[in-house]
Amino acid sequence: MTDYSRIYEEIFNIDGTLRDIYVLGTTEQGGTRGSRAGTVLSIVMHEFADSPSSFPAFISLTSDLHETLRANTQRLPDLRAFERPVRIIFGTRDLYLNTGVAEHFHAVFPSSELFLLDKGHWVQLDGAPEVAQLLLSLLEEK
């Protein structure tokens, strides 16, 4: 098991406001300062091991996650009415999102096609040639 204590310390010393936003966000979800924050951070901490200074951007992108989910859920009827072609390209080895997420999007977009690739979370990087071919072939089909 990797000891992330130095990285935790660096991350939380970057900006006290970020620490407060992170802790507030996890506490509002029913967690406690120690247990919930530690659980969430343990999932993503390895991503910041080499570049802890990227953590503020992560917090900025995810600090309003629950509100964003609520707002976007209200837009589901608009997605169901979307008639243009949609290709959902998803990695089956994604450590953060399971294939159920991709299947949900596939069900929401009536004209979508679902492609599950044996790749990780960054499918566009891990499988760049396959993703590019899938996108280009969509254009060729038109």
The residues, ordered by sequence, that sit 6+ positions from 136 with a Cβ below 8 Å of its Cβ are: none
Q: Is residue 73 part of a domain?
A: no
| One domain for residues 63 and 12 | yes
Q: Answer yes or no: do 48 and 23 share one domain.
A: yes
At residue 15 the predicted structure's pLDDT band, cuts being 50, 70 and 90, is very low
Q: How many CA atoms lie within 13 A of 40 on its CB side?
A: 18
pLDDT band at 67 (very low <50, low <70, confident <90, very high): confident
Average pLDDT over residues 41-58: 72
Same domain assignment for residues 135 and 86? yes
78-123 pLDDT per residue, tens? 989 998 899 999 999 988 888 998 999 999 998 999 999 999 999 9
Question: Is 101 found in the same domain as 128?
Answer: yes
Mean pLDDT of 122-140: 93
Q: Is 112 helix (H, G, I), strand (E, B) or coil?
A: strand
User: According to DSSP H, which parts of the chain are helical?
Assistant: 5-14, 16-28, 35-44, 55-62, 65-73, 76-80, 99-108, 123-126, 128-141
Domain count, the chain: 2
**How many Å from the N-terminal Cα to the C-terminal Cα in the chain?**
50
In a domain, 74, yes or no: no
Which of the two residues, 45 and 92, has the higher pLDDT score?
A: 92
Q: Same domain for 87 and 113?
A: yes
Percent of the chain at pLDDT exceeding 90: 30
Q: Which domain holds residue 43?
A: 5-68
What are the structure tokens assigned to 53, written together? 């200074």
Looking at per-residue pLDDT, the higher value among 14 and 91 belongs to: 91
Answer yes or no: do 62 and 95 share one domain.
Answer: no
How distant, in Å, are the alpha carbons of 46, 65, 78, 102 from that of 109? 33, 22, 9, 11
Residue 33 inside a domain? The answer is yes
Which residues are 112's β-sheet partners? 86
